[in-house]
Amino acid sequence: MQLLKPSCQFLKPAKLALAIAGLLTLNAPVFAETVEVPQMEQGIQIGDLAPGRAIVWSRADRPSRMMLKYAYNPQFKDAVSVRGPYALAETDFTARQDLTGLLEGKDVYVKVWFEDLTNARGKSEPVVGHFHTIGKRDDIRFVWGGDTAGQGWGINESFGGMKIYEAMRQVQPQFFIQSGDNVYSDGPIPESKLAENGQVWTNVVTPEVSKVAETLDEFRGRYKYNLLDENVRRFNAEVPQIWQWDDHEVVNNWSDSKDLSADPRYTEKNVPTLIARATKAFLEYAPLRPHDAEESERIYRKISYGKLLDVFVLDMRSYRGPNTANLQSQENAETAFLGAEQMAWLQDELKNSKATWKVISADMPIGLNIGDGNTAQGQARWEAVANGNDGAAAGRELEVARLLSFIKHEHINNLVWLTADVHYAAAHYYDPAKAASKDFAPFWEFVAGPLNAGSFGPNSTDGTFGPQVVFYKAPPAGQVNLSPYAGLQFFGEVNIDKKSRAMTVDFKDIDGAVVFSKTLAAEADREHEHDHHDRDHD
């Protein structure tokens, strides 16, 4: 450089510019490090782990192509390279790749980066993750929960962020069932919010979460918000997820008949339009394996984990009739909850399942009374299955009664329901001897959550299917919407022992401490296990 200075002093401006341009070209490798490249601010997610395969999801910040490597060692020796899909504006630069042909019972290490669509082919810094494929000799361990960033309780960095995700990561689960309400599109997140005992909760905020979500970008912004949390991103890079949805991914208590005409927060009053935008955002950001063109937006699915476990993921939103007084005496379009096609699918899959344990991952509980205001006639209107009348099955209960009767008469055993939704932890034993509708085999339902939202409950029970509340942990009487400061945030952990085939269900709190444990024996001993409950009400 110094040698050129004397001659540069005598160059005319135009020639000087050319000389500088030439120098920049000669030194291109030095300057290449400062060229802007794709960014991966949302990290990676792994999803729908199944025998021999797993989805890898990520997002860039510009038009680019997803690139991956995976190996069975952290040094990426003998790695397999995969050229993934393009990430374009039409999908908000999200992309997912299904890794297939994975060996079972192995730790899989993945490296993901994006290559921009310029001739320079700028590459992002890679993001690395790992997960375990379940093998025939493995015990099974997974966690579940729902309800994230609800009621204005968002990412509080001084609190440690959404630290229940770190508590879940610490138990080293093979996968996680996200039971719905992954975002609260209808709940603005303020900069600060008064919590119990005069405490102040401070949130990380973005423009998209400052109001109810109406535009496609606002719905997308809800998912990006959760991915700002370092606990969530670290969890996502290590724990494959199974996503389903509930109401808050769209709007509170939505069905196709939801009426927003009196809600001043919404300028877009057309619920089908909001559902369309919310569905697109959900499918862009969920690390789920897309269904085929027969029903490209289908969420319900079965994921098998060999001889020990099948997981049946339900969709209790898309096919339901309107929320009503829920007292119809015969099934019709109004009483649909799963809907005819999903119900037929579920019955067929349950009947043909060869797995010891059948877990039904539901987005709502069966026997809890969950209200939705009143009808025009002044009757209580209901959001879930139960209708509060403690009598023989009516309304949506008719569909569930038909399913439970089918399960009994087809001798489908070792079936457990897992759910979230109500923002407290509970274990319910459904006993036909104490039910108004008795044609079913006894079963358990476990309710976890919230993960990072307001704590509520407990809800009252409906006696139609005889639910017995064996355990619950919720806010003290008269207290509602407690912040995560209160510690009443819960996830569920399931362990299935390969040798004994017993299933142990634990509820754990925000710090990972066990608050309830129940072991269920498989098959023949199952009918007797309700006689020795591990714990009573907490």
Distances (CA, A) of 235 to 46, 61, 162: 10, 21, 11
**Helix axes of 216-226 and 271-285: crossing angle, nearest 10 degrees:** 40
Residue the block writes with tokens 């099955």: 393
Where b means 16+ CB within 10 Å and e means fewer, 129-143 reads bbbbbbeeebebbbb
**3-state DSSP of 272-285:** HHHHHHHHHHHHHH
Cα gap 169→392, rounded to integer Å: 43
What secondary structure letter does DSSP report for 419?
E
Q: Which residues pair with 461 in a beta bridge?
A: 368
Distances (CA, A) of 467 to 78, 270, 355, 432: 54, 37, 26, 9
Cα gap 488→195, rounded to integer Å: 13
Cα gap 436→379, rounded to integer Å: 22
pLDDT in tens, the chain (538 residues): 333 333 333 334 444 444 444 444 444 444 344 449 999 999 999 999 999 999 999 999 999 999 999 999 999 999 999 999 999 999 999 999 999 999 999 999 999 999 999 999 999 999 999 999 999 999 999 999 999 999 999 999 999 999 999 999 999 999 999 999 999 999 999 999 999 999 999 999 999 999 999 999 999 999 999 999 999 999 999 999 999 999 999 999 998 789 999 999 999 999 999 999 999 999 999 999 999 999 999 999 999 999 999 999 999 999 999 999 999 999 999 999 999 999 999 999 999 999 999 999 999 999 999 999 999 999 999 999 999 999 999 999 999 999 999 999 999 999 999 999 999 999 999 999 999 999 999 999 999 999 999 999 999 999 999 999 999 999 999 999 999 999 999 999 999 999 999 999 999 999 999 999 999 999 853 443 443 444 444 4
Q: What is the β-pairing status of strands 140-145 and 491-496?
A: antiparallel
Dihedral sign, CA of 396, 401, 404, 410? negative
Cα gap 110→129, rounded to integer Å: 5
Dihedral sign, CA of 45, 54, 148, 512? negative
Look at residues 187, 239, 236, 153 and name the one whose alpha carbon lies nearest to residue 489: 153
CB atoms within 10 A of CB 153: 29
Cα gap 399→445, rounded to integer Å: 17
What secondary structure letter does DSSP report for 47?
E
Look at residues 520, 443, 501 and name the one whose alpha carbon lies nearest to residue 307: 501
Q: Model pTM?
A: 0.91
Please compute, for residue 28, the number of CA atoms within 13 A of its CA located in the half-sphere on the CB side: 5
In the prediction, which pLDDT does 256 show?
74
With residue 401 as reference, give the H or E element that holds it: helix 397-409
In the prediction, which pLDDT does 404 show?
98
Residues 162 and 232 sit within 8 Å (Cβ to Cβ): yes
In the prediction, which pLDDT does 524 show?
59
Distances (CA, A) of 5 to 14, 20, 189, 219: 16, 11, 58, 56
